[in-house]
Amino acid sequence: MKRILSKFAFAACILSSLYSFAWGLTGHRIVAEIAQHHLSSKAQRNIKKLFGEQKMAYYANWPDFIKSDTTGVWKETSSWHYVNINPQKNFEQFKDSLSVQKSPNLYTQIRILSEKIKDKNVSPKDKKEALMFLIHLVGDLHQPLHVGRAADLGGNKINLTYFGQNTNLHSLWDSKLVEDQKYTYTEFANLLDVKSKDEVKQIQSGTLEEWLFDSHKIANSIYYQTPKDSKLSYAYNYRFESTLERQLLYGGLRLAKVLNEIFG
């Protein structure tokens, strides 16, 4: 009996950890797959040196998988996946709030990892690790609630029901809305990746700070339209479908820009 209970507890732990994955397994793979389509030849060659024949989508969820590690080696990386900021009225106030963040976070680590990958003195092993994190974190940047409020842990404390099932706002945006579309990650990526060259260039424009503010504004809208204890179903999916698709597409295209710049 103890063995059965132990196995049940372990399974429950694994399931609960899945709900905390940003964009979920499918979402992160969509972002990576779209980015793969827009890499320069030089970026492709250099990434292949680190990843071999595997596509970026293969490694896109690794920074979430290591959350299950029990050695504590990766414990300090848990704060890298988000940057919590209270609602800001304009970009200047938002940028000021970013600059006073003290602990390592989504904003600081994207910049640090980018420089690490470019550093000729960093070993291939460490560059590969940094690249896996960077692919994942640029995806996190475009999940709006990873630029949400500290008070509710990016929506984790906002309980609600979705088609009658108990969940929370963060989990809803991490995985449930994506999975509800019923596409594989390659299908979803191909359906979204249809912008013209000029449109792609426009989406890729701007700074990291501006991209974060973009997600922050969307997060504020999501908060406003999803109060605590909401009972959600088809109407919510319909209301935010275009926002969801936009963020997945923008995440992939902007990731490609970041990688193309890193690898020259």
CA distance linking residue 83 with residue 103, whole number of Å: 9
Homologous superfamily assigned to 34-262: P1 Nuclease (1.10.575.10)
pLDDT score at 22: 67
Q: How many CB atoms are located within 10 Å of the residue 62 CB?
A: 15
Handedness of CA 179, 36, 34, 17 (dihedral sign): positive
pLDDT score at 23: 79
* Lowest-confidence region among 21-30, 197-206, 234-243: 21-30
pLDDT-derived band at 21, boundaries 50, 70, 90: low
Asked whether the predicted pLDDT for residue 7 surpasses 80, the reply is no
Residues 208-248 pLDDT 10s: 999 999 999 999 999 999 999 999 999 999 999 999 999 99
CA distance linking residue 216 with residue 163, whole number of Å: 26
Tokens 């990843």 appear where?
51
**Cβ 204 vs Cβ 256: under 8 Å:** yes
Listed in sequence order, the residues at least 6 apart from 145 whose beta carbon sits closer than 8 Å to its beta carbon are: 154, 155, 169, 170, 173, 174, 219, 222
Q: How many CB atoms are located within 10 Å of the residue 168 CB?
A: 22
Structure tokens at 200: 């792609």
Asked whether the predicted pLDDT for residue 15 surpasses 80, the reply is no
Domain ranges of the chain: 34-262
pLDDT score at 258: 98
pTM (predicted TM-score): 0.90
CA distance linking residue 59 with residue 117, whole number of Å: 16
Structure tokens at 1: 């009996």
CA distance linking residue 126 with residue 60, whole number of Å: 16
